[in-house]
Amino acid sequence: VSGAAAPAPFVALLTDFGPGSYYVGQMHAVLARLAPRARVLDLAHDCPAGRVEVGAYLLGRTWPHCPPGTVHVVVVDPGVGGERALLAVRAGGQVFLGPDNGVLGPALGQAEEVRRIANERLFPGSVSATFHGRDVLAPVAARLVAGTPFAEVGPIAVAAGPPPGARLVDGGVEGSVLFEDRFGNLVTNVPGSLFEGWPADGAQEVRVLIGAATLAGLRRTYADVGAGELLAYVGSGEHLEVAVRGGSAAAVLGVGAGARVRVEVAR
Amino acid sequence: VSGAAAPAPFVALLTDFGPGSYYVGQMHAVLARLAPRARVLDLAHDCPAGRVEVGAYLLGRTWPHCPPGTVHVVVVDPGVGGERALLAVRAGGQVFLGPDNGVLGPALGQAEEVRRIANERLFPGSVSATFHGRDVLAPVAARLVAGTPFAEVGPIAVAAGPPPGARLVDGGVEGSVLFEDRFGNLVTNVPGSLFEGWPADGAQEVRVLIGAATLAGLRRTYADVGAGELLAYVGSGEHLEVAVRGGSAAAVLGVGAGARVRVEVAR
Amino acid sequence: VSGAAAPAPFVALLTDFGPGSYYVGQMHAVLARLAPRARVLDLAHDCPAGRVEVGAYLLGRTWPHCPPGTVHVVVVDPGVGGERALLAVRAGGQVFLGPDNGVLGPALGQAEEVRRIANERLFPGSVSATFHGRDVLAPVAARLVAGTPFAEVGPIAVAAGPPPGARLVDGGVEGSVLFEDRFGNLVTNVPGSLFEGWPADGAQEVRVLIGAATLAGLRRTYADVGAGELLAYVGSGEHLEVAVRGGSAAAVLGVGAGARVRVEVAR
């Protein structure tokens, strides 16, 4: 008899319910009741309400750090109770459950199998019209970590498209600010892979236009500029960010979520 | 030797300390030290400060989802250090610890046994005058999940009454807004059971009066009205809520916590 | 074969990332992946952004409640990516990882061993320039709870000094408000040990000067004054606090973080 049991399976939660809210608490409770050996990973609960494209960004930044086999429950679901389907996606050795509104985009981009959640035997309790995260997705996640085969969730499905991201335009890339983080940093939907192989030492080749400002060159970190100065850099989330060292870029630039960002390359 | 150990016992926390606060962190730490095998469920930490009736609502909405045997620590305790007693309640196969100020109302309503926490051997550390959640309730919870019999917490007690809820008045029901959730939805103290068996398809029989608005009929979910429109419905917490599809009812109506709500039935 | 395995080791997190943020979520995920048997204690995530002295206060108030052997990851790190070192500290039977900017002050004050984190074999993944909590500290914590000897983190080091605290001045003690908590209580950097052995029953010997107010005497708890009245007391965090019973001292006094506090003793 080996003393070391297998580690517990993980269920990861990502929502726009707000940290510390009883909506999150109800999901914790349902998972504890239906899957008492599983452990819950709170990946993010501060996604702005109903902002599907921000939810997709947060999922893309967090899921690659999770253990193999993690079952994700993603609830940014402004269409709850309406026509939108609920999906189950297998991708990258993990499983993703959530509404078919684009929030699962980072998983769908590399999906091995996509199914529509339809098997009501997996969520036998009553289902409210406004909280499918608690009444459908959490029970299905509990079944999956307990060993129910993936194929039992429902029939093969084709997902609707992911939310629009940054796009190539004449002379550069046009994107937008996804959100302002707690430090006043502006996180954009421009992927950092765009800049791979480029010099990151204050090179003048790149210009970032945001609000009324034009920033020349990408920096590596806050300490590369003086206190109170603006910088553009590829953040820890591997997307373009704009910050002020020791201050708030959102306040200094007077811009926030939805603001346009343009990246140009000097020829 | 069986490979599967029993699942860990659960201690559930519900407070008005704010998510991410060190008050919650201290309780996590005390529980980890005194009950290292127990697992902690964070049910809610965003109860508005000192709002006992909101704490009672949150407890009523979360505890039924918890596993059998869960020990709850409920800390919405504006009278800490004063005369109010601390109670231990057995109800519905779970245990509830908290101040005798009404916040345990949902458990007291179906209590099998109520005791006053008085046995200081269960909380042998020093007790501050302002944080009994950390110094009394968490240690007692740790003892209970470790197997200390419930009766050892202290003598049988009679709880003070629960906080006032909605009440029947001539021509209808009068209640109030408990709080505004993160989506701008107004959650009221009017129980949804009031409407059981009623048609929920836009029927004109019910009128909800709130702020300057009169809403005709109950809806099932947000998608039942047009974008930007107000709706009244029984929320996932089984109480009357008022929302705006894709917007904030609190902003549209200009009302918040404490606002009067009146439900009338056309004759 | 014993049925009871040893309790899981604990990793404690204290950051200024904000509750529910994906920065915290990424650290949860990294720890789950690299140390799937360890359990994570969220001690505080609402430290004001970049406020090292508040982070040190929060660490000092929470770590003594943690289980023996806890490995702490403390990330209040405005200098990330710059010259500051990352430290590992053994103190009080626990281990502390964080930047050398004073935030580890409560551990350094009683350190048995201080080392600079330098062994890159303990964090073999790519290291971003702006998130060492995720890319260095969490992986090192995972290695330490899995049994890697402390000495392997790097060479012996000498820490820079802790942040300035309250100081003795002619006629009393001068300190400042560290932060305003969720209840509007003003938490100061004046240690409660200053008042040990003093009468706490409204004695006139002590005067607390803050904003435009002068408070005579220390109280034990909120209930010792009338509703709406100001009081000074040693809070559950064992430091001087100023509050209003049933209200917000921050609002009543019009002061917040950084405000001067002076404690005088009548002769």
- Of B15, B51, B130, B145, which to mutate for an interface test with C (greatest number of C Cβ within 10 Å)? B130
Q: What is the pLDDT of residue C100?
A: 95
**At C130, is the secondary structure helix, strand, or coil?**
coil
More confident residue, B91 or A162: B91
C1: pLDDT confidence band, cut at 50, 70 and 90?
A: very low
Residues of B in contact with C183 (CB under 8 A): 49-50
The pLDDT score that the predictor gives to residue A193 is 84
- pLDDT level of residue C197 (50, 70, 90 thresholds): low
Is residue A259 within 8 A of residue A190, CB to CB? The reply is: no
CA distance C221 to C226: 11
CA distance B223 to chain A (A): 5
Residue-wise burial string across B50-67, b where 16 or more C-beta atoms lie within 10 A, e elsewhere: bbbbbbbbbbbbbbebbb
pLDDT tens, position by position, C92-136: 999 999 999 999 999 998 999 999 999 999 998 889 988 999 999
The residues pairing with B111 across neighbouring beta strands, listed in sequence order, are B91
- Give the pLDDT score at C5: 61
List, in order, residues 6 or more apart from A168 with CB less than 8 Å away: none
Chains touching chain C through at least 3 C-beta pairs below 8 angstroms are A, B
Interface of A with B (CB under 8 A): 1, 5, 16-26, 28-30, 32-33, 36-37, 49-50, 78-83, 128-131, 134-135
* Residues of chain C found within 8 Å of residue B82, distances taken between Cβ atoms: 221-223
Residue B145's nearest CA partner among B27, B33, B41, B8 is B8
The whole-angstrom separation of Cα A43 and Cα C29 is 7
- Mean pLDDT for the stretch of residues A78-106: 94
Please report, in tens digits, the pLDDT of each residue of chain B (267 residues total). 344 567 789 999 999 999 999 999 999 999 999 999 999 999 999 999 999 999 999 999 999 999 999 999 999 999 888 889 999 999 999 999 999 999 999 999 899 999 999 999 999 888 998 899 999 999 999 999 999 999 999 999 998 866 678 888 877 899 999 999 999 999 999 998 887 765 544 445 789 999 999 999 889 889 899 999 999 999 999 899 999 999 999 999 999 999 999 998 765
Q: Sort out which chain C residues have CB atoms less than 8 A from A184's CB and list them.
A: 49
Identify the pLDDT of residue A172: 84
pLDDT at C145 over 70: yes
> Which residues of chain B have a CB within 8 Å of the CB of A28?
41-43
Please give the Cα distance from B58 to A22 (Å, whole number): 7
Overall residue count recorded for chain C in this entry: 267
What distance in Å separates the CA atoms of residue B265 and residue A78, rounded to the nearest whole number?
30
List the single residue in A with minimal CA-CA distance to C81.
Answer: A221
Count of other CB atoms within 10 angstroms of residue C54: 24
Picking from C43, C182, C183, the nearest residue to B29 by CB comes out as: C43
CB contact (8 A) between residue C29 and residue A62: yes
Phi, psi torsion values for A266, nearest 5 degrees? -70, 135
Q: Looking at residue B1, what is its pLDDT?
A: 35
Residue of C nearest to B21 (CA): C44
3-class SS letters over chain B = CCCCCCCCCEEEEEECCCCCCHHHHHHHHHHHHHCCCCEEEEEECCCCCCCHHHHHHHHHHHHHHCCCCCEEEEECCCCCCCCCCEEEEEECCEEEEEECCCCCHHHHCCEEEEEECCCHHHCCCCCCCCCHHHHHHHHHHHHHHCCCCHHHHCCECCCCCCCCCCEEECCEEEEEEEEECCCCCEEEEEEHHHHCCCCCCCCCCEEEEECCEEEECCECCHHHCCCCCEEEEECCCCEEEEEECCECHHHHHCCCCCCEEEEEECC
CA–CA dist C105, C110 (Å, integer): 9
Residues 6 or more apart whose Cβ sits within 8 Å of residue B105: B56, B59, B60, B162, B163
Whether the per-residue pLDDT at A252 is higher than 50: the answer is yes
pLDDT given at position C202: 45
**Nearest CA-CA distance, residue A70 and chain B, Å:** 19
Closest CA to C244 of C264, C259, C229, C263: C229
Q: What is the pLDDT of residue C157?
A: 95
Sign of the torsion formed by the C-alpha atoms of B138, B143, B144 and B146: positive
Share of chain C above pLDDT 70, in %: 93
pLDDT tens profile B40-98? 999 999 999 999 999 999 999 999 999 999 999 999 999 888 889 999 999 999 999 99
Which ipTM score applies to this complex? 0.89
Across A139-165, b (16+ Cβ under 10 Å) vs e yields: bbbbbbbeeeeeeebbeebebeebbeb
Most confident of A204-218, B175-189, C163-177: B175-189
Angle of helix A22-34 versus helix B52-62 axis, rounded to 10: 30
Chain A CB contacts of C129 under 8 Å are 220-221, 233
The verdict on a CB contact (< 8 Å) between C19 and B20 is: yes
C-alpha span between C150 and C161 (Å, rounded): 22
Q: What is the pLDDT of residue B161?
A: 67
Phi then psi for residue B194, to 5 deg, are -55, -30
Q: In the Cβ-directed half-sphere of C103, how many Cα atoms lie within 13 Å?
A: 31
Mean pLDDT of chain A: 91
- For chain A, state the CA radius of gyration: 21
Question: What's residue C161's pLDDT?
Answer: 67
Of C1, C33, C81, the CB nearest to A65: C33
Identify the chains in contact with B, defined as 3+ C-beta pairs within 8 A.
Answer: A, C
Residues of B in contact with C44 (CB under 8 A): 20-22, 25
Indicate the pTM of the whole model.
0.90
Q: Is the pLDDT of residue A182 over 70?
A: yes
Q: Is the dihedral of CA C28, C30, C31, C35 positive or negative?
A: positive
